């Protein structure tokens, strides 16, 4: 089968399109013909072997997982003998991070990483959902305890998590401000953000506005600045960003909560936990993934370069050739 392989850490030039052996499912796995796969920040970090924790876990000097790509959608070709929930022909999607392997024509996955894809959802749409939508939902609902009538700010609003977060937030009747770079503000407005802020022109922690809830995918400021932008009893939720800033939030958060009654929380992704709920929202027409692309499998290096520059809008999706023939 064809796959995008990397054998050393580096820039996207180290990614090569190669012929490799088709994987064979273990007893508790299914074999999936991949129709679409999207790019996540984790792919970008693993490509470069950063931060260092990724090297400790996934290969100190060279990558142990040689095929990246976690958020896949496809059709099941074969099932291991212990698989109970799926059968060949089922259309599925899910987040395979921890194993990866999605930048390929076929990948194996355990059944608990997968959900059935609704018939009216395209493979491209399905591949855009798993990680970004879980982070958005778990950030707003589980950690952020979002309530009607609140003022919410999403920092890093135009990427994967932000574009899902807006749509989920709007279901709760909140007023949403989105922060991103100038080139994305028109898209944010057209998606339904009530206010937009260009982070290159304005620091939202210093403009005097206060929010009940902040969802941050970039965590690049001091936790004290974020706290200042919260209303009394407000909640700041970090999804990701600078490791040092996140550690600061983690360690100083309890102290800040004691002194100021403002809450600092961190999302620890529960992979695939709410895919069935996302299916419900999608089928009810309440959420639609924002797709940048799609690109071809051979274009993964270029798509990764584009992701690294941060200019993408929503989720970058790769479509496999056989997807266009169905
Ligand atoms: N907590 C967990 O368990 C867990 C698990 C997996 C992933 N993650 C994290 O989840 C996040 C994924 O986010 P995503 O998929 O939405 O990323 P994304 O698609 O790259 O979107 C990030 C957005 O932020 C914008 N941005 C860049 N610098 C900014 C700044 N200084 N201020 C405001 N916005 C800025 C980017 O646009 P421009 O570049 O044009 O500015 C982009 O639109 C990552 O932080 C990742 O590390 C967390």
pLDDT, tens digit, 9 for 90 and up, residues 97-125: 999 999 999 999 999 999 999 999 999 99
Model pLDDT for residues 292-323, shown as the tens digit of each residue: 999 999 999 999 999 999 999 999 999 998 88
**250-276 as b/e: b if 16+ CB within 10 A:** eeebeebeeebebbbbbbebebbebbe
Give mean pLDDT, residues 230-248. Answer: 96
| Euclidean distance between CA atoms 237 and 249, whole angstroms | 10
Residue 127 backbone dihedrals phi, psi, to 5 degrees: -70, -20
Model pLDDT for residues 242-268, shown as the tens digit of each residue: 999 999 999 999 999 999 989 999 999
Does this model's pTM top 0.85? My answer is: yes
Nearest protein CA to atom 26 of ligand 1, as residue: 156
pLDDT of residue 325: 67
199 CB within 6 A, ligand 1: yes
Give the chain's mean pLDDT.
97
**75-105 as b/e: b if 16+ CB within 10 A:** bbebbbeebeebeeebbbbbbbbebbbbbbb
CB 215 within 8 A of CB 165: yes
Residue 63 backbone dihedrals phi, psi, to 5 degrees: -70, 135
Percent of the chain with pLDDT over 90: 98
Return the bridge partners of 195, or none: 177
101 CB within 6 A, ligand 1: no
Select from 129, 140, 217, 229 the residue to mutate for testing ligand 1; criterion: most ligand atoms less than 8 Å from CB: 217
pLDDT of residue 321: 87
Comparing CA positions, the residue from 148, 126, 106, 162 lying closest to residue 321 is 106
Ligand 1 closest atom vs CA 180: 34
Ligand 1 closest atom vs CA 268: 3
The answer on pLDDT for 93 being more than 70 is: yes
**Residue 169 binned pLDDT confidence (cut-offs 50, 70, 90):** very high
In the reported structure, the alpha carbon of residue 40 is separated from the centroid of ligand 1 by a whole-number distance in angstroms of: 9
292 CB within 6 A, ligand 1: no
Percent of the chain with pLDDT over 70: 99
pLDDT of residue 224: 95
Instruction: Tell me the CB-side half-sphere exposure of residue 144, using CA atoms within 13 A.
Output: 31
The answer on pLDDT for 82 being more than 90 is: yes
Give mean pLDDT, residues 30-51. Answer: 97
Ligand 1 closest atom vs CA 163: 16
Q: Distance from CA of residue 31 to its chain's centroid?
A: 23
Give mean pLDDT, residues 208-212. Answer: 97
311 CB within 6 A, ligand 1: yes
pLDDT of residue 322: 86
269 CB within 6 A, ligand 1: yes
């Amino acid at each position: 089968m064809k796959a995008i392989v990397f054998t050393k850490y580096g820039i996207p030039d180290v990614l090569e399109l190669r012929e490799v052996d088709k994987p064979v499912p273990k007893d508790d796995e299914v074999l999936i013909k991949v129709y679409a796969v999207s790019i996540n920040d984790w792919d970008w970090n693993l490509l470069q072997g950063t931060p260092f924790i990724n090297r400790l876990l996934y290969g100190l000097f060279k990558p142990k997982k040689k095929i990246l790509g976690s958020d896949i959608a496809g059709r099941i070709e074969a099932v291991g003998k212990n698989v109970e929930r799926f059968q060949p022909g089922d259309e599925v999607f899910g987040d395979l991070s921890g194993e990866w392997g999605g930048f390929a024509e076929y990948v194996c996955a355990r059944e608990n990483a997968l959900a059935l894809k609704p018939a009216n959802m395209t493979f491209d749409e399905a591949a855009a959902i798993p990680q970004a939508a879980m982070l958005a939902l778990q950030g707003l609902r589980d950690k952020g305890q979002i309530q009607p009538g609140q003022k919410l700010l999403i920092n890093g609003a135009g990427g994967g998590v932000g574009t899902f977060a807006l749509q989920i937030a709007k279901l709760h009747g909140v007023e949403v401000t989105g922060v991103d770079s100038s080139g994305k503000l028109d898209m944010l407005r057209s998606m339904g953000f009530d206010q937009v802020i260009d982070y290159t022109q304005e620091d939202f922690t210093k403009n005097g506005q206060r929010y009940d809830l902040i969802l941050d995918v970039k965590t690049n400021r001091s936790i004290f600045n974020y706290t200042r932008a919260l209303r009394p009893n407000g909640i700041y939720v970090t999804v990701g960003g600078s490791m040092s800033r996140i550690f600061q939030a983690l360690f100083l958060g309890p102290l800040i909560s004691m002194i100021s009654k403002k809450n600092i929380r961190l999302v620890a992704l529960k992979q695939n936990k709410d895919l069935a709920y996302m299916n419900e929202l999608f089928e009810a027409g309440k959420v639609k993934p924002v797709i940048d692309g799609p690109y071809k499998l051979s274009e993964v290096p270029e798509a990764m370069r584009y992701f690294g520059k941060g200019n993408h809008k929503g989720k970058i999706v790769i479509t496999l050739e056989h997807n266009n023939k169905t």
